Structure 1
Amino acid sequence: MPAPESLAAALARQPDPVLVELLALRPDLAVPPPADSGVLATRAGLRASVSRAADELDAFVLTVLEALVLAGADAEAVDPADVAELLGHDVGPARTEQGLDALRRRALLWGPDEHVAGVRVVPAAREVLPRTLGRVGRPSPQLLGADVEALVAGLDETRTGLLATLAQGSPLGRTRDAAPGTPADRPVQQLLAAGLLLPVDHQTVELPSQVSAVIRGRNPLGSVDTAEPAPAVQPRQQDEVDSAAAGEALELLRHAVDLLTALGEHPAPVLKSGGIGVREVRRLAKAAQLDEARTSLVLELLVGAGLVTSDEAVDPSWTPTTAVDAWLPGEPALRWFELARAWLELPRLPGLVGRRDERDKPLAALSDELRRPSAPRDRRRVLMVLGDRPLRGGRAAALEPADVEAVLAWRVPRWGGRGRADLVGWMLAEATALGILGRGALSRPGRALLEAPATATGAMAAALPEPVDHVLVQADLTVVAPGPLQPELEREIALVADVESAGAATVYRVSPGSVRRALDAGRSAAELHALFAGRSRTPVPQSLTYLLDDVARRHGRLRAGTAAAFLRCDDEALLTEVLSSPVAAELGLRRLAPTVAVSPAPLAELLVALRGAGFSPAGEDSAGDVVDLRPGGARVALRRARRTPAGPSAASAEQREAVVRGLRAGDRAASTTTAARLVSDGTRASGVATMGVLQQAARARRSVWIGYVDAQGVASQRVVDPVSVGGGVLEAFDSAAGEMRRFALHRITSVALTED
């Protein structure tokens, strides 16, 4: 039988493409670049790295790994036929080999070949797998040498059913009948007494391996899921999916604008522990007419997109950034893309808001407790369950959350744990709210966001309904927009009316306050009449005409300017009324002429105080035209936060190939016989000696072995052919990399001539 081979030797024999694929499957092995195959093998066997690799295994491959460890492959080479026998006759040798190959490509297993008679797995595999490997419990000492098959056959249906239930899944089961003092005639107590069950604690029992082997028969590990479950797909018309997604996207944009406006008027204080308080969330929810969960989600998106941030004040607050002014005028599809991309890359879980922490305190929106670096990877994992089901005949595949969870339970059984259902539910609900999903299926914009982000904006633009250029004015002072309005028309209607309900058709309501808002912004009564007359497909009702004229008649009769501010009015009696009111003393108003008064208060303060006293002044500029003095909302400069990746980022193919070339150079250096090695101690003498050896090798055209520490502090060893030495640099040909390279002389730690 061939002598056992180490994982390092097995990796050293692999062709370069195999190692490049290994670094793609396990990116943590390439950080920092391993010096040689020995270092690569050591990393591949570390418990943390093996656990991370096991997290990506599907249920079948994970079961194969459990069978290998159960067979003892972590200690010695085992025959693959023994592994196939453990997996059961229903699996078959071909499917078993596929599982072994998946482990082999991840360097969790090596062999068999001419160097190893059987297969071996890294010893750390036993540490990262559950105690009950392959759902097989401990052997029962009481059953050693007993005819277990006859004992099981002699049981009644109730007791056989208990054992069969445990044999179908985990060998551990919870029952109150396991407690001491339970009547001896209970089935569980009788099975414990016969050794057919083993006690674990007062509420837990374990199925012995001898019993599970009898019940499972030809499948020692029980039923093995060799294929991903195929849940019932609900077909949806793709156009209907896209339409529903576009509606959600428009609703999201409206809510985002409402929250930005509310935060611009009154920024929300940052809690001392971070995040935003419950009271502030409620205030914002009321201002935007949203529920608190929706408000928290949109706040997380706005912060993730850089539209809201915490300022640097002594008492910091959540405030819109200057990026808002560029985002607001953008096309709806572009604004959606910014929010959708922010969600997809958000290293946080908004669904945790309101949950209790270990101190039984609710988790606040925007707080650090919501941070989960793996969230972006997990979102893609959930969405790709739907994305893997291609479009057929103009139909998209919709799945229930429970079906998505079932697929993920097979694809990545170690992911999520008991919280898997919550994670799947949150992410699907959030994706629906963003228009990535529609009617339970992946929309075209959502698929583009996952597969080709550069095309996502165009996909959403195609899904959104065409903007309309008209409204329908009703006699009850409501204005119906039968679809998304053109941006300019939407701004004008939003200025003169308030949103009453939104959906496929948005309903606005005109009120005295909304008309006054438009007049304050500089619109005249004639302009408002022209707006409704020119853009309404229905006749303008008299009630709206009267309302506009009535508010306009009373609006602006008082004219304010700067003196610091002045107040003028053609109606002397009205000005006298103002000067006689208590607010005049507060503002320091004094009459300069029968129709003019001045105040030391700023113009904005003068207007607010007069309006609070029941008057309706209008601001004007130096030409006498009405000006819009409404505050534009607070803004702060955006400070981009540095994101912490969930793990080592996947290197590109070129980077992985470069790592493999460096690894090959290290292997060559380690296997090369050298003469006496000169170690540099940093002194001038050792530096001169190092240069002497290198110059000698260049003249004699001999290869040298060098130890080198690069700028990142990564040590390596390699064999190179010196070409020139000077100016503090060694220029040499690195045959492993196939190129000329430059090495700083002060970073060469040791050098030796290779022996021919």
Structure 2
Amino acid sequence: MHIPLVDWLRAQDDETLAELLRLRPDLAVPPPADLTVLATRAGIRASVHRACDDLDTVTLAVLEALVVADADTGPVPLAEVRRLLGPDVAAPALQRALWALRERALLWGADDELSLVPAAREVVPRHPGGLGRPGSGPAASSELPELLAAVEPDERRVLEALAAGPPIGRSRAGSDPDSPVGRLLARGLLLRVDPETVELPRQVGLALRGDRPLGPIEVAPPDLSTVDRGAETVDGTAAGAALAALRQVEALIAFWGQAPPPVLRSGGLGVRELRRAAKEMDVDEPVAALLIELAVAADLIGECDGPAPEWTPTTAADIWSAGGAEQRWSLLVRTWLELPRLPGLIGRRDDAGRPIPALSDPLRRPLAVRDRRRVLAGLAELPAGTAVGSPAALANLLAWRAPRRGGRLRDEVVDWTLAEATVLGVVALDALSGPGRALLDDPGGAAAALRAALPEPIDHVLLQADLTAIAPGPLVAELAHELALMADVESAGGATVYRFTETSVRRALDAGRTATEVRDLLAARSATPVPQALTYLVEDVARRHGRLRGGAAASFLRSDDEVLLSEVLAHPDSTVLELRRIAPTVVVSPLPLVELLDGLRAAGFSPAAEDAGGGVLDLSDRGRRIDARRSRAARTPVSSEPSAAHLESVVSRMRAGDALAGVRRSVSGRVAPAASNGASDTLATLQHAARARRSVWIGFVDGHGVAGERVLEPMNVGGGVVEGRDRVGGDLYRVPLHRITSIALVED
């Protein structure tokens, strides 16, 4: 006997219904009023399509077999499904596939009467199993084996080609009765679709395939060759990549703080600006595009307001820069994991043939987060330190597990995800790193995992005779800050090379460091002797530094050397500075102090800024900033998977609604309008129900004029109010008598 889907759902326990809503979350939005609504939604075409996206190759083959058996129009026995699948699908694999279909409410019923949602026919290919439509005449007769045994070799080649699928073929020779196609049409072994198209009847295809009616089925997943890289090697490589990514983002923030690029009129970032950023970050363009996308998504960079908007660092960038390496990395990788965009599309052509720019709307792909997690989850199944043999092997495995996912970019998304994860240190050497595994399992613990993978910071450098310093590992924060003031990074990697120049040393002096402090720091923190050339450089810059002192009056210059001030006033480039001597040792200018000092340096002088106490004042440019548009809490990714408590609540409400619908059906035809009976009859009915401990169905209107209904077990009736416990949910309610519009006793 055929059981409707809604009745099958009613017979399931709450855990099964909750699992159904977890596997098909679209069914719970908005929460169904009862199980009838749930059953209706479960059969909607769009929802069935989404549910089938998670099915593997074997389960989809079982689904096709059910469609071929017409399980969507009436119950079919399991034996027929097993016959269609052939010997490739063993009983355990078949039962797993049937269970996967049942727990998604795509299939229901016992094994002797399997029923399929009708919309499943639209999910499978146009020709399920590569078979044509059932034919009539000779193809459906008992003479079919004899007809097939009598075909000529050229005719059999035609039949076998169509039997392998698809069953549709085009041939202009079909009008020739002496051609193989013409002879097959005459004997009813082929059906004509149009003058040039023929179709192989289903019965003929099944007969030709023998004991594999649906053809060969790939039951086992593809082999995934692996390579043991070693967990320590993978984590060490990942930590180096993470630090490199942080340096590159810092360089981007500093660069765009000085020269923000314009926002394209159509939105996004221009190709030329992307190239400039890549050159400044010392990376190739795809890596630069990825880091730019992440910086904007993390709100470290935003689009400033104004008639000519620009991509400008936000105030959140300064907070981010002040954090530790692991906290900064954690924000970037959590942003990447939940990024609903595909940076790999940057530079590809859109439908109009134009290149897709970075930060543009065409990159938005809501399913990118799901696909990204699938790739990482595939790597997470391997032991720590174990890498896949190739990205293509991983793509083949993921394609077997979910053939319907990914679309035409399915394999490319795997390559892009691995490449992006490698840049960020989530993956290293094609293996999931320890920090990457923590990111996937517990995003909040990713920072701690990276901290454990990073080598211990060192407190020394190796000074070289060529005015460079080598840091053989990550430096302690204090030394890294001081070294960044007095030297420029020449190359970064496992070891960082810093170069000392006149400009870099002057930068340290401008920041308030003295020559003695610079020399003492280098002597204390170098594992090698301080080269004489570096000592001479520091002393030479310090000797010329600060002989001119600038201050903000509009701005002023002072010097104990009156001849030096006279030399400044006499310099040809000083005319644009509008200098005026107000004392033998003091000169003032209407220009801002920063412009004055820059002009003097361009003229070959080495002035220094001073504060009100005469100390060195640091006027170095911090770069432009705009307000962050989102709070840090808003940037924290939130899991979209419904909680168990939420699913339990939805199931409870559906059960309650179903029970209420059942009560409504039981009182149908016996509902009495309260208004026609009068308030006295309504009161009498409620008092009788309270004394007899019977339930009543009431229709009412709430204080907002919205109609509702409820089944109550009245406890107290008086004072114009009935107080009772809801029979379905068990909650206590108070309903004013004047709001009751209809009433009926419920038969237990």
SS for the counterpart of 2:697 is strand
SS for the counterpart of 1:508 is strand
Answer whether contact 2:315 2:625 (CA < 8 A) is retained. Answer: yes
1:515 maps to 2:505: yes
Shift of 1:328: 1.4
Aligned to 1:222: 215
Picking from 468, 475, 484, the partner of 1:485 is 475
Take 2:63 and 2:636, find their aligned partners in 1: how far apart are those partners? Answer: 28
Take 1:591 and 1:252, find their aligned partners in 2: how far apart are those partners? Answer: 51
Shift of 1:104: 1.1
User: Structure 1 745/387 Cα, relative in aligned 2: closer, same or farther at 3 Å?
Assistant: farther
Take 1:712 and 1:66, find their aligned partners in 2: how far apart are those partners? Answer: 51
Take 2:18 and 2:706, find their aligned partners in 1: how far apart are those partners? Answer: 20
Take 1:125 and 1:288, find their aligned partners in 2: how far apart are those partners? Answer: 51
Picking from 39, 43, 47, the partner of 1:45 is 43
Matches within 5 A, 1:656-671: 656-671=647-662
Deviation string, structure 1 residues 538-557 (Cα, Å, up to 9, x no partner): 12112211222222222222
Aligned to 2:302: 309
Shift of 1:577: 2.8
- The runs of 5 or more residues in structure 2 that have no matched partner are none
Matches within 5 A, 1:174-193: none
Take 1:666 and 1:292, find their aligned partners in 2: how far apart are those partners? Answer: 57
Matches within 5 A, 1:562-573: 562-573=552-563
1:283 maps to 2:298: no
Deviation string, structure 1 residues 202-232 (Cα, Å, up to 9, x no partner): 9999776456435532111111123322311
Aligned to 1:274: 267
Aligned to 1:534: 524
Deviation string, structure 1 residues 510-565 (Cα, Å, up to 9, x no partner): 12222222222222222221222111111211221122222222222221101111
1:448 maps to 2:438: yes
User: Structure 1 209/596 Cα, relative in aligned 2: closer, same or farther at 3 Å?
Assistant: same
Deviation string, structure 1 residues 655-681 (Cα, Å, up to 9, x no partner): 21222222122222222222644689x
Aligned to 1:650: 641
Aligned to 1:72: 70
User: Structure 1 92/283 Cα, relative in aligned 2: closer, same or farther at 3 Å?
Assistant: closer
Shift of 1:597: 0.4
Take 2:678 and 2:328, find their aligned partners in 1: how far apart are those partners? Answer: 63
User: Structure 1 138/583 Cα, relative in aligned 2: closer, same or farther at 3 Å?
Assistant: farther
- The runs of 5 or more residues in structure 1 that have no matched partner are none
Aligned to 2:711: 719
Aligned to 1:386: 379
User: Structure 1 143/354 Cα, relative in aligned 2: closer, same or farther at 3 Å?
Assistant: farther
Aligned to 1:367: 360
User: Structure 1 689/564 Cα, relative in aligned 2: closer, same or farther at 3 Å?
Assistant: farther
Deviation string, structure 1 residues 144-192 (Cα, Å, up to 9, x no partner): 3655643678359xx85x976776676679xxxx67599x9xxxx9668
Matches within 5 A, 1:636-647: 636-640=626-630
Shift of 1:40: 0.8
Picking from 318, 329, 351, the partner of 2:344 is 351
User: Structure 1 320/712 Cα, relative in aligned 2: closer, same or farther at 3 Å?
Assistant: farther
Greater mean deviation of Cα atoms: 597-606 or 337-346: 597-606
1:604 maps to 2:594: yes
Take 1:508 and 1:751, find their aligned partners in 2: how far apart are those partners? Answer: 86
Aligned to 2:153: 154
User: Structure 1 552/129 Cα, relative in aligned 2: closer, same or farther at 3 Å?
Assistant: same
Greater mean deviation of Cα atoms: 228-237 or 73-82: 228-237
Matches within 5 A, 1:122-521: 122-138=117-133, 144=139, 147=146, 149-150=148-149, 154-155=153-154, 160=157, 194=184, 209=202, 212-391=205-384, 395-521=385-511
SS for the counterpart of 2:630 is coil
Picking from 18, 25, 37, the partner of 1:27 is 25
Shift of 1:405: 0.8
SS for the counterpart of 2:87 is coil
User: Structure 1 728/94 Cα, relative in aligned 2: closer, same or farther at 3 Å?
Assistant: farther
Shift of 1:49: 0.9
Answer whether contact 1:468 1:484 (CA < 8 A) is retained. Answer: yes
2:492 partner amino acid: A
User: Structure 1 201/406 Cα, relative in aligned 2: closer, same or farther at 3 Å?
Assistant: farther
Take 2:738 and 2:272, find their aligned partners in 1: how far apart are those partners? Answer: 61
Greater mean deviation of Cα atoms: 121-130 or 319-328: 319-328
User: Structure 1 130/380 Cα, relative in aligned 2: closer, same or farther at 3 Å?
Assistant: same
Take 1:405 and 1:636, find their aligned partners in 2: how far apart are those partners? Answer: 42
Deviation string, structure 1 residues 318-357 (Cα, Å, up to 9, x no partner): 2222222222122211211111111111111111111111
Take 1:736 and 1:575, find their aligned partners in 2: how far apart are those partners? Answer: 94
Aligned to 2:611: 621
Aligned to 2:52: 54
User: Structure 1 328/170 Cα, relative in aligned 2: closer, same or farther at 3 Å?
Assistant: farther
Take 2:311 and 2:718, find their aligned partners in 1: how far apart are those partners? Answer: 58
Greater mean deviation of Cα atoms: 644-653 or 594-603: 644-653
SS for the counterpart of 1:124 is helix
Aligned to 1:631: 621
Answer whether contact 2:228 2:386 (CA < 8 A) is retained. Answer: yes
User: Structure 1 309/713 Cα, relative in aligned 2: closer, same or farther at 3 Å?
Assistant: farther
Take 1:565 and 1:671, find their aligned partners in 2: how far apart are those partners? Answer: 87
1:584 maps to 2:574: yes
2:120 partner amino acid: A
Deviation string, structure 1 residues 605-630 (Cα, Å, up to 9, x no partner): 21222223333221111121111101
Shift of 1:397: 4.0
Shift of 1:301: 1.2
Greater mean deviation of Cα atoms: 573-582 or 269-278: 573-582
Take 2:704 and 2:312, find their aligned partners in 1: how far apart are those partners? Answer: 39
Greater mean deviation of Cα atoms: 213-222 or 436-445: 213-222
What is the aligned-residue identity percentage?
Answer: 54
Shift of 1:32: 1.6
Greater mean deviation of Cα atoms: 461-470 or 225-234: 225-234
Shift of 1:302: 1.3
Please report the TM-score for the alignment, with normalisation by the length of structure 2.
0.89
Aligned to 1:89: 87
Shift of 1:132: 1.9
Deviation string, structure 1 residues 439-470 (Cα, Å, up to 9, x no partner): 11111111111112232221111111111111
Aligned to 1:755: 747
**Number of equivalent positions:** 737
1:64 partner amino acid: V
User: Structure 1 742/258 Cα, relative in aligned 2: closer, same or farther at 3 Å?
Assistant: farther
2:128 partner amino acid: L
Take 2:588 and 2:260, find their aligned partners in 1: how far apart are those partners? Answer: 33
1:264 partner amino acid: G
Answer whether contact 1:143 1:210 (CA < 8 A) is retained. Answer: no
Take 2:312 and 2:117, find their aligned partners in 1: how far apart are those partners? Answer: 52
SS for the counterpart of 1:328 is helix
Shift of 1:244: 1.0
1:316 partner amino acid: P
SS for the counterpart of 2:354 is coil
SS for the counterpart of 2:382 is coil
Take 2:479 and 2:277, find their aligned partners in 1: how far apart are those partners? Answer: 26
SS for the counterpart of 2:229 is strand
Take 2:447 and 2:371, find their aligned partners in 1: how far apart are those partners? Answer: 23
Shift of 1:697: 5.2
Answer whether contact 2:695 2:727 (CA < 8 A) is retained. Answer: no
Please report the TM-score for the alignment, with normalisation by the length of structure 1.
0.88
SS for the counterpart of 1:567 is strand
Shift of 1:714: 12
Take 1:686 and 1:456, find their aligned partners in 2: how far apart are those partners? Answer: 68
SS for the counterpart of 1:721 is strand
Answer whether contact 1:26 1:53 (CA < 8 A) is retained. Answer: yes
User: Structure 1 647/299 Cα, relative in aligned 2: closer, same or farther at 3 Å?
Assistant: closer
Greater mean deviation of Cα atoms: 592-601 or 322-331: 322-331
